[in-house]
Amino acid sequence: MRLLTKYIFRRTLQAIPLLFIISIISFLLMTLAPGDPTAMYQNPEAGNEQDFTAIKEQLGVDQPIYIQYYKWLKLLVLEGNLGYSFQDGQPVMDKIVSRIPATLTLMGTAMFIAILLAIPIGVYSAVKKYSPIDYIFTFNSFLGIAVPSFFIALVVILVFSLKLEWFPASGLRSNFDTFDLKDRLHHLVLPSLTLAFGLVASMSRFMRSSMLEVIKQDFVRTARAKGLTERVVIYKHALRNALIPIITILALQLPALFGGTLFIEQLFAWPGMGRLSVSAIFIRDYQVIMGTTMIAAVMVVASNLIADILYALVDPRIQLGKN
Amino acid sequence: MQNFKKKLLTTSLASAVALSGFSFLGTDSADAARPGFDPKKVGGKVILTSFSDAVRLIPYTTNDSASNRIQGMIFDALLSTNQNGDPIPSLATKYTFDKKSNTYTFDLRKGVKWHDGKPFTADDVVFSYNMFMNPKSINSYKNDFKAIKSVTKVNSHQVKIALKEVDALIVTNVFSAAAIIPEHQFPKGVDDYNKNTKIHRNPIGTGPFKFKEWKTDERVVVVANKSYWDGRPYMDEVITRILPDANVEAINLLKGDVDWVEALTPATIGQVAKDKDLKITKWDYGQFDYVGFNAEKAPFTDKNVRIALTHALDRQSIVDKIYLGKAYIASGPFHPKIPQNNTSVKALSFDPKKAEDMLDKAGWKLQNGVREKNGKKLEFDFYYNNGSKTREKIGLLTQQNWAKIGVKVNVRSLEWSIFLDRLDKGEMDTYALGWGGYDGNVEHSGFFHTDAIPTSTKSGNNATRISDPKIDKWLDDYRKETDRNKRIKLYQDMHKYMAENGTLIWTVHPMKNMGHDKDLKGIKTTLSSAMFNLQDWYWGTASKRK
Amino acid sequence: MGIPNPSVNRPVALNVKKMTGNDYKIEGKASVIWRRYKKNKLAVVGLGVFTLMCLLAIFAPLLTPYRPDVYDIFDSYYPPGTIPESGEFHLMGTDSMGGDIWTRIVFGARISLSVALLAMICTVSVGIIYGAISGYFGGWVDNIMMRIVDAIQSIPTFFLLLIVAAIITPSLWSTVLVLSVFGWTGMARIVRGEILTLKKRDFIEAARATGEKKSATIFYHVLPNAIAPITVIATLDIASNILAESSLSFLGLGIQPPTPSWGNMLTSAQELTTVMDYVWVVIFPGLFIILTVLAVNFIGDGLRDALDPKMKD
């Protein structure tokens, strides 16, 4: 356990320079790319002589890039403040925090459903390799992978909301007065299932292939030879060893827990982070972009740390940070 | 409903006002109902949609349509405009103009209260105008106020606004557009105006609706101001739901979850039309679309090439197939429903044969399928901003049409910021674009005047780089001409010239199609706004008015 | 891939009868693999379908009387099988611009298949090499290499793409390049994860103990055992590349219309009217994408079984 704490501590320390570098590169890319943050204040109908010096000064974008970056960094390091949105003057932290509950709910539910479905599907497909059910799963997976999510979402809304009227078409809730769990869940079903569909597709493929590998290995055969039941063999011995790629895939998906996804949020009018970050990108709201980027970076770093720890947990032969 | 965004919205009466000191007689009583008010229509709520969330709700701190629309429900300006765009009383019951001192005097309405109960006075007007003119305030509209010298309080209900120069358009451009904000809400003045998000998210106005609730990216709710000076609106509640996708807007309308969508896209009209509970009302919106280019670059310097390209473009197909019949073929920058439109000007015909002859005469000879002149091929790129299906289709249609007369076109999409960047630099050969939001007294110098050509140091909207002394003169004279008929005649002449000269490749004036519940009554539109009279909307069926 | 058998199982039998001259070993290997591959019927079907797709792409101009870049908007939205007055036949109907869908599919196959395959090969090779080195060496090498991946995954790609889009003219090669540059990091992570467990297995330890060179150990012992997740990711990569190509067009980077690609044919599915009234416009390209991806998947399955060092003959 002490080893683990030490390992986490070491990796966290390493993350600081990494995040610093990421912030510099992101800031540079953002400011060098075409686009102008004052464009959102430009009034296309206002003729020609509009003067934006005052607005530029107020936003601080009249300064050289390194000064802008320095100011941003100083505020973050000294006050833990992510700055203020160029668009509406709100603290970036507030804007982000206000969207986190909705984002986490949707992404968390979708990922949870995906894990819950993908693992059994993958295991079953592997154990009953080349059976009709395996082919059905295979076909479904590729439907989930090869069909764009906006198409799936649109079809799902048309069928389950417009035609069958089982679920609401869009939004987070209908009841704005109190927290109504039933109402919230009702709204959550379609977007989370749509999102999970794509996730299950790829995760179950990985699960299947890695399970296929594992059940051929000696220790599984030994377990079988010892007369253990198939269920025990599969779930107790084989599954654990087959989880490595699933952990990697999950780690790759984890940043989306806080980052959201644009298409689903847009088609289900879900008030999530995906919409915030994309609209910030389009209007070049540098402060919000840096805020969401840094949150994403922290999530990437953290999820890979978690993945590395999980590797060691499911496969004790892997030692943390050792060669 | 006031549309605070309108910059080109000027009125036909402006000149008359400037000359004679024309004034209104308005009601002074705070709880009077407007003429035609029918108490039976009161009640119910209406759910509207908006593509994007509002940004801030304090007027002029934003220029996005979502914010402007909500601000228009909550705030009033000194004057307002009627459906024809003529000024009518609002927070000012009467105004006079003194030509000698170039000063306007406004008598303010008595007994008007802010939504928080505080009285509205001349101090608020002075505060508001000074705020909008404050060099430190972040707003996009400062330029509109540049003719104003000073705003002074005479007494608690009278204000004088003195001008530096004659500005015949100021009545509608500023007095009918600049919302009055409550001084007592901004204790720290410009700092609060620029940055205080609490104020920006809880606006207090004098308008027909009071702000109730704003859930980010979900909805904004306003409720009827029952003591509105012009009588309460019929609806008890107006909810604006944020639905960030055109398909989703239409689906919610079909489901009955929303009652009104401002503009359906060609991709959704068909479905809404099939629903017998819904109605599609097409409305005229002041807009012109065109195929632009850099007028300083060959071959677009040649009038014959421009006209030939227009002849070769099948604009009837654009109307029929891309806008599903809901557009007018354009012959210039003036919407057919405004007086500046010269009715004697006919749009150029679709005539590929004639186009070929013209190009032949202009020296562009066909060589292996593509025309050439002096070894240079008639081949260029056509750009559109990505995500616009309509413009993509126009691009592809243009490519097909022009290929038939030996002009090779490569269609390319660009991300909006790159598109704008290249537009300003004049780097795009040809592109699809449009301008919208003008009405009866359109003022087009921003788009066609030599002074409006963008340079590296100066922004401007004349990205096509049209520099024609004749056009400049019409534009300048129009701004100075105080006689309404003469002014309109100037633009009519300019229209004729622009059509004959092929100043741009004019395409269409698209209409907008609002979709709404059949039972939603009383909707009136103007060329610049679909919710011009929101306070008069009502439900036809009694059960919906509960 | 010629792979000496690393596993504890009995060596892959070389077919001695087929030995010919110098390169008998490779010849023998290949035939063994092919023999194993043939056993999997679906893998053979998959190979057949994929070959067919490639043939469609190669012989596109012979398979249709129309050109993909010439169409008439007055022919728009013909349902499949329509023969309008002009007497033209539209097997799969026409799209919103009047383009013949079958024509656009066969020509689109050229773009989509080459982009997807080339980009897949690039991402997979870079990802494998990177991930393998990182995972096998472990320690600080791994730490630094993975932190670089962290950084790449955290940077807002949109701006990088915009900078690229502002500079280059889109082409097939730029599309492949962009997809490859941004696609390899996930691959690298998955391979690394696999290698981390593999390298602790007995046979690897054994190979190491015999003093074999590290690179040899990686390529002859470690990677062949990671073939399963690699085939999966390669398959998924093809699918996602076909779709991603069209999102690049959105930034002005990918293949530009009217040049057809399967991905950009699908973008019309963003319109309600297409989904509800003219669904054939998206169904057919969608079908071809799914068929291709399934074929690739079965090829991958077959290859994995055939190449698997642990698999018995």
CB distance from B368 to chain A under 8 Å?
Answer: no
Mean pLDDT value across residues C260-274: 86
- What percent of chain B has pLDDT above 90? 54
Token pair in block for residue B161: 């606004």
Element (H, E) at B103: strand B103-108
Residue A198 lies in a domain: yes
Total domains present in chain A:
2
Residue C32 lies in a domain: no
**Residue range B116-167, pLDDT digits in tens:** 999 999 999 999 999 999 888 887 787 778 889 999 999 999 999 999 887 7
Closest CA to B466 of B501, B432, B434: B501
Residue C269 lies in a domain: yes
Token pair in block for residue C245: 């190509």
Contact indicator for C134, C193 with CB cutoff of 8 Å: no
Q: What is the rounded average pLDDT for all residues in chain B? A: 86
Best A42, A85, A160, A170 member to test B by mutation, with max B CBs in 10 Å, is A170
Distance from CA of B37 to the nearest CA of A (A): 32
What's the pLDDT at B22?
39
Show pLDDT as tens, one digit a residue, over chain A (323 residues). 677 888 888 889 989 999 999 999 999 999 988 888 887 776 554 444 456 677 788 888 888 999 999 999 999 999 989 999 988 888 999 999 999 999 999 999 999 999 999 999 998 998 888 889 998 998 888 888 888 888 899 999 999 999 999 999 999 988 888 888 999 999 999 999 999 998 898 889 888 888 888 877 777 777 777 777 777 777 777 787 788 888 888 888 888 888 888 889 999 999 999 999 988 988 889 999 999 999 999 999 999 999 888 888 887 777 766 54
Which of chain C's residues have a Cβ under 8 Å away from the Cβ of A35? 162
Return the DSSP state at A157. Answer: I
- Nearest chain A residue to B133 by CA distance is A54
Closest CA to B216 of C194, A103, C218: A103
CB distance from A248 to chain C under 8 Å?
Answer: yes
Residue A156 lies in a domain: yes
Q: Domain ends where: A22, A51, A79? A: A79
**Residue range C190-219, pLDDT digits in tens:** 888 888 877 777 777 777 777 777 777 777
Give yes or no: residues A216 and A315 share one domain. yes
Q: Which residue among B6, B245, B445 sits closest to A266, beta carbon to beta carbon?
A: B245
What's the pLDDT at C28?
67
Q: Looking at residue C277, which CATH number applies to its domain?
A: 1.10.3720.10
Give yes or no: residues A139 and A255 share one domain. yes
Residue A137 lies in a domain: yes
Residue B352 has pLDDT above 90, yes or no: yes
Q: Do B412 and C252 touch (CB under 8 A)?
A: yes
Strand spans (E) along B429-541: 430-436, 505-506, 508-510, 512-517, 520-521, 538-539
Q: Give the lowest-confidence range in A194-203, B298-307, C19-28.
A: C19-28
Q: Which residues contact A7 (CB under 8 A, 6 or more apart)?
A: A309, A320, A321
Give yes or no: residues A168 and A126 share one domain. yes
Closest CA to B287 of B398, B188, B435, B111: B435
**Residue range B382-430, pLDDT digits in tens:** 999 887 888 989 999 999 999 999 999 999 888 888 888 888 888 899 9
Residue A85 lies in a domain: no
Q: Do C197 and A244 touch (CB under 8 A)?
A: yes
Residue B29 has pLDDT above 60, yes or no: no
Residue C279 has pLDDT above 50, yes or no: yes
Residue C220 lies in a domain: yes
Best C120, C155, C298 member to test A by mutation, with max A CBs in 10 Å, is C155
Residue A112 lies in a domain: yes
Residue A84 lies in a domain: no
Give yes or no: residues A156 and A180 share one domain. yes
Give yes or no: residues A69 and A97 share one domain. no
Distance from CA of A145 to the nearest CA of B (A): 23
- The residue range of the domain holding A54 is 2-79
Residue C218 lies in a domain: yes
Model confidence at C88, pLDDT cuts 50, 70, 90, reads confident
Q: Domain ends where: A79, A106, A131? A: A79
Give yes or no: residues A70 and A114 share one domain. no
Q: Domain ends where: A24, A52, A79? A: A79
Q: At what angle do helices A286-314 and C172-198 cross, to 10 degrees?
A: 30
* Predicted TM-score (pTM) of this structure: 0.86
Residue C179 lies in a domain: yes
CB distance from B451 to chain A under 8 Å?
Answer: yes
Residue C1 has pLDDT above 60, yes or no: no
**For residue B242, what are the CA distances in angstroms to A104, A157, A171, B215, B246?**
20, 17, 9, 10, 11
Model confidence at B499, pLDDT cuts 50, 70, 90, reads very high
**For residue A292, what are the CA distances in angstroms to A6, A26, A78, A236?**
29, 11, 19, 40
Give yes or no: residues A127 and A237 share one domain. yes
Give yes or no: residues A127 and A253 share one domain. yes
Give yes or no: residues A60 and A153 share one domain. no
Residue C17 has pLDDT above 80, yes or no: no
Which of chain C's residues have a Cβ under 8 Å away from the Cβ of A34? 162-163, 166
What's the pLDDT at B26?
41
CB distance from C34 to chain B under 8 Å?
Answer: no
Distance from CA of C272 to the nearest CA of B (A): 6
- The residue range of the domain holding C135 is 44-57+102-306
Give yes or no: residues A99 and A184 share one domain. yes
CB distance from A163 to chain C under 8 Å?
Answer: no
The residue assigned the tokens 């909307």 is B537
Give yes or no: residues A119 and A51 share one domain. no
- Hey, is B185 helix, strand or coil? helix
Total domains present in chain C:
1
Give yes or no: residues A119 and A259 share one domain. yes
Model confidence at C10, pLDDT cuts 50, 70, 90, reads very low
Q: Looking at residue A305, which CATH number applies to its domain?
A: 1.10.3720.10
CB distance from B197 to chain A under 8 Å?
Answer: yes
Residue A87 lies in a domain: no
What's the pLDDT at B20?
34
Mean pLDDT value across residues B423-440: 86
Closest CA to B7 of B452, B471, B460, B439: B439
Residue B46 φ/ψ, nearest 5 degrees:
-125, 140
